[in-house]
Each structure stands twice: as C-alpha cells, then as structure tokens.
Amino acid sequence: MPSNTQIIINQFGAAELLAFQESELPQPQAGEVLIKVAFAAVNPIDVKTRAGLGWAAQHNKNNLPWSPGYDVSGSVIKQGSGSQKFNLNDTVSGFIGFPLRAGGYSQYICVPETELALMPEDISLECAAAIPLAGQTAAQALEKAKIQPKEKVLILAGAGGVGHIATQIAVAAKTEVYATCSSDNIDYVNGLGATAIDYNLQGWQGNLNDVDVLIDLVGGDNALNALSCLRPGSRVVTVPTITSSIVCAKASELGFIGMGMLVEPNITQLEELLHLISAGMLKIKIEQIFPYQDVVAAHRKVEKGHARGKILLNMQS
Ligand SMILES: NC(=O)c1ccc[n+]([C@@H]2O[C@H](COP(=O)([O-])OP(=O)(O)OC[C@H]3O[C@@H](n4cnc5c(N)ncnc54)[C@H](OP(=O)(O)O)[C@@H]3O)[C@@H](O)[C@H]2O)c1
C-alpha cells in the first residue's frame, strides 16, 4: 500500500517552514475521486499565503496545518459513491479547493469530481497542471475588461504565469497588445505577438498613449505609473489583490473605470483552455519543474517574481 506525502505548513513564515507529512491514502467520499497527482503548479498566492499574507492566510490561520496548491494534473485511481464523471485511469486537470481548501501539493488527493476536467489526449500532464489558475485569471481579467478588436491593451508583466496567457488571448482577440517585461524577456514577449516594453527604461510610459485597457499583473506604483498611458474612460483591471483598492481609487479619480478581481474556478472555461492548448492555439511556457522534495527552492523562485511562464512541482516519487 503506497503512502501519501503531502507538503504542509504548520505556521506562516519563510519557505523553510514547508514540511513533509506522511499519511495513509485518503478515501474518496460521495461525489469525489482519488487522484494520483503528477504535477502541481506553484502560484504567487501559495507563496503569499505560506508567508501569512492575504485573504487565504487570514481565513486559514486557525486551520493549520495547511497544504498549499490549487492546480493539479494526474490520474483517477478510485471513485467515491455516485461518482460517474470519470473512468479509472482517466487523466484530469483541476483548479481545486480555491480559495481555502487547496491541498494540491500532495501525491494523492480526494477531489470533488466537479472540480476536474478530462484532459484532451494530446496535451501533457505538465501543461494540464500549469493552466488552471493562471489561465482562468488571464481569461477572466480580459472578459472583465470587455476587450474589443483593434483596442489598445497594455498588460503589465506579459512574461509571467498569467501574463503570457493573457497576452496570447488578447492577441488572438485582435487587439493591439503592449506588454511590459525586463530586457531578458523582450524577444519572448514579442514572439507572443505583443509589442514588448522594457519596464526598466526610465519614462517608458511617456511613449505610449491612448490605451483603452490596462491589465495590471504587478500592482502598486507600477500600476499607478501606467495610468498615464490611458485615454479618458479606459478600463483598468488590477489583479494583485493586495494593492487593488489603491489602484482602483486612483483610476476612478482620474476618470477611468477601475476593477479588482478574484479568479473564480469555472470548469467550462478550464475545458475550453485545455482545448485551445490541444489545438495549438495557446502555448504554455513552463520555466522550471522542481521535484517536490525541492519545494523550498520552488517557492523562493516564485517569490523573486521573475519566472517566465509557470513553475511546477513534480509530485511523483
Ligand atoms: N486576484 C486574483 O484572483 C489573482 C489570480 C492570479 C494571480 N494574481 C496575482 O497576479 C500577479 C501576477 O501573477 P502571476 O502568476 O502572473 O505572477 P508571476 O508568474 O510570478 O509573475 C512573474 C512575472 O512578473 C514580471 N515582473 C516582475 N516585476 C515586473 C514589473 N515591475 N513590471 C513588469 N513585469 C514584472 C516578471 O518579468 P521579468 O522577469 O521580465 O521581470 C515575471 O515574468 C501576482 O501578484 C498574483 O498574486 C491574482
């Protein structure tokens, strides 16, 4: 009988507090399936919650130990009663337990089958773990902004986990996309079909105007400074929750429509994103895959805030 290694925190703080916990395999309840996890993505929210920051940390502070991880791919190895959506050995992708339960940093996990999408045959387990949270954030931010063909869209952080997907969707929607990144990522972001802007170039904002939509994936002063690129009445979707109220307030003071957001898991949208990948219409960049034993290094990498695309944990022994 295999045992289950889970990565947990017993208290909030530095990455070194991530610990390993062994347990027996969980048993799926009614409407759940037991998944053998192949890959789990590491998202900034995992890192912030581990550090004790933000909404999920506030709501989990009396619920420790807590296992991070909202994005998983893997195979169904057991069905709970009444569970009919999947067959044994089906490979699935899930945006699970958001925002409180999480738990994807596990080798085995029971998940309500409603949180899982069947993987198309021709996509990799790596891509299926990378897409759920970042892909749905990108899609929902652009939906919220109601982007229209020919509009000028400025995306702050076009090379990141959310940004590289948002850039591709906005380009496919026939908008004129500008995206900020460091000089190391200029060629990569241009290759996604955007016009890349090096955010380290002093005063870059002075060279871009009449922007219709700002998708802010950085927050704080970076977002406030980018407001000077907008035309009157522009829409601003600011995604980092910690600074969203100040960015929205400044945006409305300047006559723009400022909107914060919290991504909502949506299984139909996840299935659509998986099919876009399968059809070759969306390319997922995975910068690095860490063995789960190196979770501390994976968290440090995401914490630095310069990943190109996604960072994954390989949860297989
Ligand atoms: N509200 C929600 O529901 C929600 C959902 C998902 C994510 N988020 C938040 O959205 C933000 C983005 O998430 P993510 O997963 O895309 O993060 P990420 O993958 O960690 O972002 C890393 C990227 O940020 C870029 N970057 C760093 N500083 C920058 C700057 N000053 N200007 C432009 N780009 C910069 C880096 O590019 P270089 O290496 O080129 O510097 C890197 O490619 C995070 O704050 C996250 O917590 C919120």
State the span(s) of the chain assigned CATH 3.90.180.10.
4-131+284-314
| Per-residue confidence band for 66, with pLDDT thresholds at 50, 70 and 90 | very high
State the span(s) of the chain assigned CATH 3.40.50.720.
138-260
Residues 103, 96 contacting (CB under 8 angstroms)? yes
Q: 217 C-alpha vs ligand 1 centroid, how far in Å?
A: 5
Distance CA 167, CA 169 (A): 6
253-281 pLDDT per residue, tens: 999 999 999 999 999 999 999 999 999 99
Q: 57 C-alpha vs ligand 1 centroid, how far in Å?
A: 19
- For residue 31, pLDDT over 90 is answered with yes
Q: Which atom of ligand 1 is nearest to the CA of 222?
A: 31
158 lines ligand 1 (CB under 6 A): no
> Would the CA dihedral through 226, 227, 232, 238 be positive or negative?
positive
> Which residue has its alpha carbon closest to ligand 1 atom 43?
160
Q: Which atom of ligand 1 is nearest to the CA of 199?
A: 32
Which 8-state DSSP code applies to residue 18? Answer: -
The pLDDT of residue 2? 83
73-110 pLDDT per residue, tens: 999 999 999 999 999 999 999 999 999 999 999 999 99
> Which residue has its alpha carbon closest to ligand 1 atom 33?
157
Residues 277, 130 contacting (CB under 8 angstroms)? no
Distance CA 293, CA 171 (A): 38
Identify how many contiguous H helices and E strands the chain contains and give both numbers.
10, 15
Give the domain 4-131+284-314 fold: Quinone Oxidoreductase; Chain A, domain 1 (3.90.180)
Q: 44 C-alpha vs ligand 1 centroid, how far in Å?
A: 8
279-308 pLDDT per residue, tens: 999 999 999 999 999 999 999 999 999 999
102-148 pLDDT per residue, tens: 999 999 999 999 999 999 999 999 999 999 999 999 999 999 999 99
Q: What is the dihedral of CA 84, 89, 95, 100, to 10 degrees?
A: 80
At the top level of CATH, the class of 138-260 is: alpha beta
Which of 182, 192, 214 is the best mutation target for the ligand 1 pocket, counting ligand atoms within 8 Å of the beta carbon and taking the most? 182
- With residue 21 as reference, give the H or E element that holds it: strand 19-23
241 lines ligand 1 (CB under 6 A): yes
180 lines ligand 1 (CB under 6 A): yes
Which of 239, 264, 308 is the best mutation target for the ligand 1 pocket, counting ligand atoms within 8 Å of the beta carbon and taking the most? 239
Phi, psi of 19, deg, nearest 5: -130, 165
Q: 134 C-alpha vs ligand 1 centroid, how far in Å?
A: 10
- For residue 1, pLDDT over 80 is answered with no
Q: Which atom of ligand 1 is nearest to the CA of 244?
A: 1
